[in-house]
Amino acid sequence: MQELAYEIPRPANREINAAIVRAIPFDQVCMNGILNAPHELIEAGNVAFNTGHVFGRGHSIAARAPIGKSDRSSDVFGLIVERKLPDFVAFQDVGLVNEGLVGNADFRRAVIDYLLRGYSGALHIRFGIFPRLERCDMFFDVTEGRSRLRGPKHTNPPHIMLSTDDRNGGWSHQQPIIDACINLKLAEIDPDSLVRPDLEHPSFIR
């Protein structure tokens, strides 16, 4: 297994985050992860508290409050009727349809829009079906934001991690992402220095 990692600079640069996502070839991916609303939007009253959008397999979208949080109020009315912004945006096997992959540019547009609004969190992307030989993990200010990721506590900087199996012929799907990181002058870092949280299963989705 080969790995590459690039550090995303702080303070958060929304344009850099969006540029990385623009480079992802969304025609052959399966995506999981979560993005959380920034404090500035929450404090301004523009966010539906504890309620978010969940993008699922195919083209499904649902409004949802985190399971296991019944002791706290949610605001489905605010999200759907008052059209407030979501407290979080979750992705569950987005792009996977009947064990095949379907491209959808709307997923890319949605992620970019939320990143430009200041949302932060993490995304896990797999390229191809089986065997899943290429993957890309992106962490946008997850340690400074309101992380709902499971896994060990860590002090990783915001970063992008790319991995591939040698037998897959190199970085065939991820070369545009590598080129974007180089063009953005992101510093390459040692992948072994990073703690790996459980990204595929955000704690509120069970």
Segment 133-157, tens digit of pLDDT: 688 899 987 544 454 554 445 578 8
Across the strands, what pairs with 122? 34, 139
CB 24 within 8 A of CB 108: yes
- Give the gyration radius of the chain's Cα atoms: 17
Residue 178 lies inside a defined structural domain of this protein: yes
Residue 204 lies inside a defined structural domain of this protein: no
Distance CA 23, CA 181 (A): 9
Residue 199 lies inside a defined structural domain of this protein: no
Residue 37 lies inside a defined structural domain of this protein: yes
Question: Which residues have a Cβ under 8 Å from the Cβ of 165 and sit 6 or more positions away?
Answer: 1, 2, 131, 133, 134
Residue 170 lies inside a defined structural domain of this protein: yes
Please classify residue 83 by burial: count the beta carbons closer than 10 Å to its beta carbon, then call 0-12 exposed, 13-18 middle and 19+ buried.
exposed
Residue 72 lies inside a defined structural domain of this protein: yes
95 against 144, higher pLDDT: 95
Q: Is it the case that residue 74 has pLDDT exceeding 90? A: no
Distance CA 20, CA 8 (A): 10
Structural domain boundaries, residue 39: 2-193
Task: Pull the structure tokens for residue 19.
Answer: 């540029």
Residue 198 lies inside a defined structural domain of this protein: no
Task: Work out how many domains the chain is built from and give that number.
Answer: 1
